[in-house]
Each structure stands twice: as C-alpha cells, then as structure tokens.
C-alpha cells in the first residue's frame, strides 16, 4: 500500500507544517507531504518547505480577504488534486475555508487550534485563555467544517497555565504540544479507525 | 486564631457539601461549616448535613423561581451573618445569586461547576461536554459574580473523556474530582494568599 499523500495550507512561518513534514520523514506518521500552499506570497513557511524538499507555492486569493471561497477555493482544490493529495492539514492558515474546498475534500480537512475548544475559538486563542484566567489550556485538532473552529474534535492535549506565565510563554508551551499532537491526530485519521457519532470522534 | 466559618448553599443531595464538611473534620481544610441553607424544602442534603452535625435548614424563596434576589437574598445574608459565616460555598445551588447576597459577601462567595469553564456553563455541563465530543473535561471552582458561571477562576481539574464514556460515567468521574478540588480551592481562598489581577487568580 502506498503512503497517503497530504497537503498543507499555511499563511505564516509554518511551524506545524514543518513538524508534520518531519514526522513523515521520521516515520512517526505514515504519510508524505505532497504539496504546501500559502495564501500569503512571502510566507516564511514556503522557504522552509523548500528547504525540506517539499513542493510549495503561494496561491494568493483574488477575491476575499478573510475567507477562501469561489474560484480561489477551487484553485486550491485543483492544485491539491493534481498533487494526488487525499487529506489536507491547515497549519496556521488564516482564512475561513468555504464550501468549494470543503466539498472537494469532505471530512478530509483538518485544523489545529491553540486552545481547548470550544473555549477560545478565533484569533489569539492563547492570549484569550491567559486573560480569562483558566488554569489549563491546550490545543485541539478538529475536522474543518463551515463554522469557526467548530468541527468535530479528533484530539486534544492539555497545557497547564502557570501563575507566572505571560500570554507569550503560554503560547510557546502550547506550540510544543501542537507539534506532537498534530502528527498523532493525522495518523489517527489516516488509519481510518475512527467513527464520527454526532460530534464525537471515537476509535473503532 | 479561630477557624474560619463557612456557609454552604444547596438545592439537592449535597455531595459537594458533604465533601467540604468531611474535609473540615479531617483537617484537610482549616475551617468549620457553620450553616447549610437550601432553597428546596426537602433537599436530601439537609438531612445529610444534620447527620454530620451541621446546622441546616431551608429558606424557600418567595418571589422568583430561578434566582435568589431581593428580600429572599437578604434573608440568606442575614442567616449566614448570624451564624458568623465569612465565606459562602455554593454546592449545587440551582439559582442565580443576585446583588443583595453578592454585596453582603463581596469576593467571598465560591461555586463549583462540572466543566472546564468557560466551556459549557449552565445546566447539564457534563452532558454538554460529552455531546460536544471534547477529549478532556473537568471541573472549575470560581468566584461568583453576576454572570452565569463566569467569575474569576480559582482552581480547575482535568478529567479525560473516554471513548466508551456515557454522559453519566463522565459525570461520575468529574464528581469524584470535584470533591477533592473544592476543599483545595476553598483552602487557597481562606489562606488569603492570592491576588486577582484582571480575571487571573494567582498565588502570592
């Protein structure tokens, strides 16, 4: 059986992207990153992907600023299909992904978010958590649907908030966990050994 | 120095009430439960408190069904003051506590909630968490303010959600943690060694 081909979408430095690429190389994840796409022309992660010998390019959406929709979304779907991609991982992609791409990869788009969802969806989740004064935060890998950070949860990991944390030190510790969690969660989905019951994603 | 006197408010069987009383008896909590009040005339917890030799009685509010306000709230404040109570712990009290009691015990009313707030405030928090498909839930002790389960967080504890959990088995495991967490959190507040910075409750 050939290794599953995954695509990654980024907007920034692509640290979760790099973690997934390395997990594949080291065999912790039985897959291959076939293509990285960025909506930002000069995203730092593009160079990083190239340095890791992964094809990477920007497709800058023409129409909207905060979502990926219409022809722009279809261009992403087309590029991933041409690269033989079966699963897509969002890794710091800063737009809401809309129907044309969701429908091209139904139940096969994943995202990682730096909080224990459903707490603190949206931007600056780590700062939101810190300001709210929770004693534990963490990160969440979930299926992407039309909602904001709201699809069924695949995996989560806990990070304690310390009394002397700043939003920044908390974000750093969460990021370390994200790098491990994402590979683990993608592996669970690629294995196909799960069922979605209502919103609950359980192993089979 | 004499032991701090705490009051407890219940509506039901009072399992967290009993846990606090026992924690005081066993010296894990340097305090004494001076009075238990219930808004429900035949709450199971009233008999339980008496069996544990703690004064307990119902004050059934006359005016509202879902909140404790006006003269009813003042009656609670008066009863607790007469009993020499300095801190109040809500333990399954099913009404929103309003200004007349909040203002009589400013920053000295605590509540325990069976979720990792701010996720799943309100009723049936354990079932909400289970249905949402989170991988971790838990419990939260927080200061009570005018919001629903929204005051500054004193302590939290994590409970993993298992693939074969039902809402009921999850609720049971959370309850076990609640019993330990509440005494711990009350101890932290009674010690006075904390500061509230914005919403963050940190040790000093």
Interface confidence (ipTM) of the complex: 0.94
User: For residue A14, what pLDDT is reported?
Assistant: 96
End-to-end CA distance of chain B: 21
Coil, strand or helix at B76: helix
CA distance B95 to A174: 37
**Domain containing A50 — which CATH number?**
3.40.50.170
Report, as residue numbers or ranges, the catalytic residues of B.
113
Q: Name chain A contacts of B130, Cβ cutoff 8 Å.
A: 200
Q: Quick one: A69 and A119 in the same domain?
A: no
Closest residue of chain A to B163, computed from CA coordinates: A202
Q: Quick one: B85 and B167 in the same domain?
A: no
User: For residue B149, what pLDDT is reported?
Assistant: 85
Q: Quick one: A61 and A156 in the same domain?
A: no
Tens digits of residue pLDDT in B83-133: 999 999 999 999 999 999 999 999 999 999 999 999 999 999 999 999 999
Phi/psi of residue B72, each to 5°?
-60, -45
> Which residue's entry shows tokens 């950070």?
A149
Closest residue of chain B to A200, computed from CA coordinates: B133
The verdict on B1 touching A (C-beta cutoff 8 Å) is: no
The verdict on B169 touching A (C-beta cutoff 8 Å) is: no
Per-residue pLDDT of chain A (204 residues; tens, 9 = 90+): 579 999 999 999 999 999 999 999 999 999 999 999 999 999 999 999 999 999 999 999 999 999 999 999 999 999 999 999 999 999 999 999 999 999 999 999 999 999 999 999 999 999 999 999 999 999 999 999 988 788 999 999 999 999 999 999 999 999 999 999 999 999 999 999 999 999 999 999
Output the CA–CA distances (angstroms, integers) from residue B46 to A94, B26, B79, B88, B142, in the order listed. Answer: 54, 21, 16, 16, 24
Chains A & B: contacts with CB separation below 8 Å: 65
Contacts by residues A183-186 (CB-CB < 8 Å, ≥ 24 positions apart) = A183/A19, A183/A20, A183/A23, A183/A28, A183/A29, A184/A155, A185/A110, A185/A112, A185/A141, A185/A154, A185/A155, A186/A6, A186/A20, A186/A23, A186/A29, A186/A31, A186/A87, A186/A89, A186/A110, A186/A141
The verdict on B167 touching A (C-beta cutoff 8 Å) is: no
The verdict on B158 touching A (C-beta cutoff 8 Å) is: yes
Q: Tell me: pLDDT of B2 over 80.
A: no
CA distance A155 to A153: 6
Question: What's the mean pLDDT in B5-25?
Answer: 98
Cβ within 8 Å, pair A135-B117 = no
Measured in angstroms, the CA of B90 and the nearest CA of chain A are apart by 20
Q: Quick one: A78 and A98 in the same domain?
A: yes
Domain, as residue range, for A128 = 112-204
Q: Quick one: A138 and A59 in the same domain?
A: no
CA distance B98 to B93: 13
Tens digits of residue pLDDT in A84-133: 999 999 999 999 999 999 999 999 999 999 999 999 999 999 999 999 99
The verdict on A42 touching B (C-beta cutoff 8 Å) is: no
- Rama region for B28: left / alpha / beta (φ>0; ψ in -120 to 50; rest): alpha
Q: Name chain A contacts of B164, Cβ cutoff 8 Å.
A: 202
The verdict on B116 touching A (C-beta cutoff 8 Å) is: yes
Q: Quick one: A27 and A55 in the same domain?
A: yes
Helix, strand, coil abundance in chain A, percent, nearest 5: 35, 25, 40
Listed residues B50, B80, B106: the one ending a domain: B106
Cβ within 8 Å, pair A153-B132 = yes
Q: Omega of the bond prior to B118 within 30 degrees of 0, cis?
A: yes
Coil, strand or helix at B138: strand
CA distance A97 to A39: 12
Cβ neighbours, 10 Å, residue A10: 29
Q: Quick one: A118 and A142 in the same domain?
A: yes
Q: Quick one: A4 and A82 in the same domain?
A: yes
Listed residues B106, B130, B163: the one ending a domain: B106
Listed residues B106, B125, B147: the one ending a domain: B106
Q: Quick one: A116 and A102 in the same domain?
A: no
Cβ within 8 Å, pair B158-A152 = no
* pTM, 2 dp: 0.95
**CB-nearest partner of B116 from A136, A153, A164:** A136
CA distance A138 to A118: 11
Q: Quick one: B120 and B190 in the same domain?
A: yes
- Looking at the structure of chain B, the number of domains it has is 2
């Amino acid at each position: 059986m050939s290794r599953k081909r995954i695509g990654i979408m980024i907007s920034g430095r692509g640290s979760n992207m790099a973690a997934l690429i390395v997990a594949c190389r080291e065999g912790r994840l039985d897959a291959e990153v076939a293509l990285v796409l960025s909506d930002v022309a000069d995203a730092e992660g593009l160079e990083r992907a190239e340095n890791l010998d992964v094809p990477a390019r920007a497709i800058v959406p023409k129409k909207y600023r905060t979502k990926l929709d219409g022809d722009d979304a279809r261009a992403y779907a087309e590029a991933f299909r041409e690269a033989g991609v079966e699963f897509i991982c969002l890794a710091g992609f800063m737009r809401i992904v809309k129907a044309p791409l969701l429908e091209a990869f139904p139940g096969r788009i994943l995202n990682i978010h730096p909080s224990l969802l459903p707490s603190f969806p949206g931007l600056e989740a780590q700062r939101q958590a810190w300001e709210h004064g929770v004693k534990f935060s963490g990160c969440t890998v979930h299926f992407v649907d039309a909602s904001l950070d709201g699809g069924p949860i695949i995996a989560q990991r806990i990070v304690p908030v310390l009394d002397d944390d700043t939003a920044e030190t908390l974000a750093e510790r969460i990021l370390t966990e994200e790098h491990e969690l994402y590979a683990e969660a993608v592996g669970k989905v690629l294995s196909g050994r799960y069922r979605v019951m209502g919103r609950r994603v359980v192993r089979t």
